[in-house]
């Protein structure tokens, strides 16, 4: 099994997302013509079939839609830090856009206190650098 | 065109165990041979094959081992747990449309060895849609299923105690089925509550077994079926289903992630059928993870939105319940073979030979994975 955090491969139509992430900005792909937002990024707008797109920055605020706490057996890199929480977070500006990311407490003493995690509570995006090209979004709880 | 025009007339399987010594090819051949013997049909008559894209055995390897004649049709259905009914439905369509006459669908798998877990082969770079989840530590199918169950529990006020009835009910069926992997082992609610967590809120017993084995079925036209000894399980209706904005396993991007592709399959299945959910005598519901049973019960219309765990905890899927589910023990307690065990159990119920036989079962539903693009078949007995 791999030893490191698996790194996402970057397609042409995903570059905008990861370039913004390197600058600690969260962006959402929009259709160039009809402005429809979409996630995950893809080449074509499902509404008007336009192949051009833009990237709009969002506040980075979101709401926990759900979460899990994985336990072993896991990939070694995750087994080392388990138990940990992974959340599915609704973006404040576009509640139907949901992104996955680690859920972390802003207070480290709370680290393993998963009972404190409440669906519906607010979180703020932050970024962890895992490779030259990738800053991975995660979510910080209040 | 398809309705009641084809039938499953042969079923065959190998032993189910943590480890079988034979290769997947040998297992496939034995299961298919058993299914043909059960049907009373010669191997040289087979001219159509259906399998899974996940199947390691090629069609030509299987054909030249079993001595099939000249083939006219073959197809593979994608998405693992979503595939069984789709592979069967496609072969049924080829028979109903006159392309072929005798079809075989099989699945052989050695999955008992932990090294065969697909997630454990995650590579350094993730190029498919899992790039949006695996780097964050949401790696295994159990994690992906657990995400939806926690939301469901939150939304409708359920707890792990409520979910425990899925695993304990299926285990009771397995305890009556001598070939089930878990036949000898009882499972109490206390065992369940004390089990180690795999992906909180899912524990060990919410996960399917890791097992080796093979299963095959034989299909012919209903006209041909009349001349055979076995009572045919007529394919009354069949549909596949994929929802808008579906994403494999991490199906979190639709309008309501609790409304899976099963809703799409179910709506079309009932539309194509003479029956409604109240007419179904027994159901086999795909259960790689226990949440898929309550989710599917709601999707197929056996209970209202948010009601499934209450329904299950009140005995709704038990042997004397409103709709008995996974009566051979299912993937949680009989064997995990991408749901092919559910298909043959659905057929046994129509034949009247299940180890947990539902009296006078005439309408028997088999579904596939709630979290993937999927399909379902409604079997009918005459």
Q: What are phi and psi of B134, to 5 degrees?
A: -65, -40
**CATH code where residue B108 lies:** 3.40.47.10
Partner-chain residue, chosen from B136, B201, B257, that has the shortest CB–CB distance to A86: B136
Residue A3 lies in a domain: no
The answer as to whether A6 is a domain residue is no
- List chain A residues with CB under 8 Å of B122: 1-2, 6, 75
CA distance B104 to chain A (A): 36
DSSP-derived letter for residue A49 is -
Please state the rounded mean pLDDT for residues B293-319.
Answer: 98
Same domain, A28 and A81: no
pLDDT the model gives residue A110: 67
Q: Among A19, A35, A57, give the residue marking a domain's end.
A: A57
Quick one: pLDDT at residue A106? 87
| Cβ B365 vs Cβ B312: under 8 Å | no
Residue A111 has pLDDT above 80, yes or no: no
B-chain CB neighbours of A74 within 8 Å are 137, 139-140
CA-wise closest residue to A43 among A56, A31, A26, A57: A31
CB contact under 8 A, A5 and B133: no
Measured in angstroms, the CA of B345 and the nearest CA of chain A are apart by 31
- Hey, is the C-beta of B180 within 8 angstroms of any chain A C-beta? no
In a domain, B326, yes or no: no
B258: closest CA of chain A, how far (Å): 12
Domain count, chain B: 1
For residues A80 and A35, membership in a common domain is answered with no
Do A70 and A139 belong to one domain?
Answer: yes
Cα within 13 Å of Cα(B286), Cβ side = 26
- Average pLDDT, integer, range B32-60: 98
In this complex, the residue of A46, A69, A138 whose CB is nearest that of residue B199 is A69
- Say whether the peptide bond before residue A33 is cis (omega within 30 degrees of 0): no
Q: Look up the domain containing B69 and give its range.
A: 6-113+210-225
Residue A101 sits at the chain B interface (C-beta within 8 Å): yes
> Is residue B35, in this structure, part of any structural domain at all?
yes
Give me the pLDDT at residue B250, please.
97
- Phi and psi, residue A70, nearest 5°: -70, 140
Catalytic site positions of B: 286, 336
Contact A70 B139 (CB under 8 A): yes
pLDDT band for position A109 (cuts 50, 70, 90): low
Mean pLDDT confidence for A69-86? 96
CATH number of the domain within which A87 lies: 2.40.50.840
Residue A98 lies in a domain: yes
Closest C-alpha among B44, B5, B9, B3 to residue B228:
B9
Whole-angstrom distance, CA of residue B257 vs CA of residue B148: 8
CB atoms within 10 A of CB B100: 22
Statement to judge: residues A45 and A111 lie in one domain: no
Asked, for residue A119, whether it belongs to a domain, the answer is yes
In this predicted structure, what is the pLDDT of residue A113? 87
A67 and A97 in a common domain: yes
Ranges A112-121, B25-34, B275-284, B357-366: which has the least confidence: A112-121
Within-domain flag for B40: yes
- Do A43 and A93 reside in the same domain of the chain? no
Minimal CA separation from A6 to chain B, in Å: 5
What residues are paired with B377 via a beta bridge?
A: B238, B366
The mean pLDDT of chain A is 96
Domain with A51, as residue range(s), is 11-57
Cα distances (angstroms) measured from residue B87 to each of B116, B220, B330, B368: 23, 14, 19, 11
**CA nearest to B198, candidates B289, B285, B294, B292:** B289
| Pair (A37, A78) in one structural domain | no
Count, in order, helices (H) and strands (E) of chain B.
12, 12
Question: What pLDDT sits at residue B27?
Answer: 98
Same domain, yes or no: A38 and A68: no
Residues in B touching A65 (Cβ below 8 Å):
151, 252, 257
Residue for token pair 């590579």: B123
CA-to-CA dists, residue B63 to B21, B67, B224, B229, B256, angstroms: 22, 6, 22, 25, 44
Residue B2 CB: number of other CB atoms within 10 A? 17
User: What mean pLDDT value characterizes chain B?
Assistant: 97
Residue % of chain B over a pLDDT of 70:
100
Whether the Cβ atoms of residue B110 and residue B24 lie closer than 8 Å to each other: yes
What is the band of B359 on the pLDDT scale with cuts at 50, 70, 90? Answer: very high
Q: How far apart are CA B78 and CA B50, in angstroms?
A: 11
Could you tell me which chain A residue has the CA closest to the CA of B146?
Answer: A68
Task: Give yes or no for residue A108 having a pLDDT over 90.
Answer: no
B327: region left, alpha or beta (phi > 0 left; psi from -120 to 50 alpha): alpha
Q: Do A2 and B124 touch (CB under 8 A)?
A: yes
- Looking at the complex, does the CB of residue B150 fall below 8 Å from at least one CB of chain A? yes
Please state the domain count of chain A: 2
What confidence category does residue B67 fall into, taking pLDDT thresholds of 50, 70 and 90? very high
Respond yes or no on whether ipTM tops 0.95: yes
Q: Flag whether A71 is in a domain.
A: yes
Q: At what angle do helices B160-175 and B292-299 cross, to 10 degrees?
A: 90
| pLDDT tens per residue, range B103-148 | 999 999 998 888 889 899 999 999 999 999 999 999 999 999 999 9
Which of residues 82 through 121 in chain B touch A, CB cutoff 8 A? 114, 119-121
Note whether A2 contacts B122, CB cutoff 8 Å: yes
Q: Is residue A4 a part of any domain in this protein?
A: no
Among candidate residues B124, B359, B111, B377, the one with its CA nearest the CA of residue B233: B377
Is the pLDDT confidence value at A62 over 70?
yes
pLDDT in tens, B176-233: 999 999 999 999 999 999 999 999 999 999 999 999 999 999 999 999 999 999 999 9
Q: Are B378 and B364 in contact (CB under 8 A)?
A: yes
Average pLDDT, integer, range B244-263 = 97
Looking at residue B168, what is its pLDDT? 98
Is residue B40 within 8 A of residue B123, CB to CB? The reply is no
Residue A51 banded pLDDT, cuts 50, 70, 90 = very high
Mean pLDDT for the stretch of residues B247-260: 97
Same domain? For A74 and A138 the reply is yes
Burial of residue B144 (CB within 10 Å: 0-12, 13-18, 19+) is buried
Output the pLDDT for position B113: 86
């Amino acid at each position: 099994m791999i030893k490191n955090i698996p790194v996402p491969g970057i397609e042409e139509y995903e570059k905008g997302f990861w370039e913004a992430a390197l600058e600690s900005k969260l962006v959402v792909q929009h259709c160039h013509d009809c402005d429809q937002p979409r996630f995950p990024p893809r080449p074509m707008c499902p509404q008007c079939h336009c192949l051009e797109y833009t990237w709009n920055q969002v506040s980075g605020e979101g709401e926990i839609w759900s979460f899990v706490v994985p336990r072993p057996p896991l990939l070694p890199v995750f087994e080392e830090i388990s138990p940990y929480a992974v959340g599915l977070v609704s973006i404040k500006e576009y509640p139907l856009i949901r992104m996955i990311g680690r859920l972390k407490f802003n207070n480290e003493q709370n680290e393993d206190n998963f009972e404190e995690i409440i669906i519906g509570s607010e979180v703020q995006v932050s970024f962890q650098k895992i490779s030259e090209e990738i800053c991975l979004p995660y979510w910080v709880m209040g | 065109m398809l309705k009641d025009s084809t039938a499953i007339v042969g079923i065959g399987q190998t032993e189910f165990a943590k480890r079988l010594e034979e290769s997947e090819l040998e297992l496939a051949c034995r299961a298919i041979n058993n299914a043909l013997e059960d049907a009373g049909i010669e191997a040289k008559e087979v001219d159509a094959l259906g399998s899974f894209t996940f199947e390691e055995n090629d069609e030509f390897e299987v054909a030249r081992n079993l001595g099939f004649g000249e083939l006219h049709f073959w197809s593979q259905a994608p998405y693992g747990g979503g595939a069984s009914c789709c592979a069967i439905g496609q072969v049924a369509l080829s028979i109903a449309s006159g392309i072929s006459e005798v079809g075989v669908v099989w699945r052989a798998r050695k999955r008992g060895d932990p090294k065969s877990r697909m997630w454990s082969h995650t590579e350094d770079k993730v190029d498919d849609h899992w790039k949006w989840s695996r780097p964050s530590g949401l790696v295994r199918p159990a994690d992906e299923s657990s995400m939806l169950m926690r939301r469901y529990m939150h939304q409708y006020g359920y707890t792990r105690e409520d979910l425990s009835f899925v695993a304990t009910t299926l285990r009771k069926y397995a305890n009556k089925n001598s070939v089930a992997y878990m036949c000898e082992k009882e499972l109490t609610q206390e065992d369940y509550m004390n089990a180690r967590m795999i992906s909180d809120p899912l524990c060990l017993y919410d996960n399917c077994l890791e097992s080796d084995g093979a299963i095959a079925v034989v299909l012919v036209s209903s006209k041909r079926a009349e001349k055979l000894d076995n009572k045919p399980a007529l394919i009354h209706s069949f549909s596949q289903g994929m929802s808008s904005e579906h994403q494999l396993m991490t199906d979190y991007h639709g309008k309501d992630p609790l409304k899976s592709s099963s809703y799409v399959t179910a709506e079309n299945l009932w539309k194509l059928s003479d029956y409604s959910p109240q007419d179904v005598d027994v159901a086999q519901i795909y259960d790689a993870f226990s949440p898929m049973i309550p989710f599917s019960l709601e999707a197929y219309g056996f209970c209202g939105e948010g009601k499934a765990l209450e329904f299950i905890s009140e005995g709704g899927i038990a042997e004397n319940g409103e709709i008995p589910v996974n009566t051979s023990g299912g993937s949680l307690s009989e064997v995990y073979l991408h749901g092919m065990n559910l298909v043959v159990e659905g057929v046994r119920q129509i034949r009247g030979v299940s180890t947990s036989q539902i009296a006078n079962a005439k309408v028997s539903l088999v579904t596939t994975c709630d979290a993937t693009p999927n399909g379902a078949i409604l079997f009918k007995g005459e």
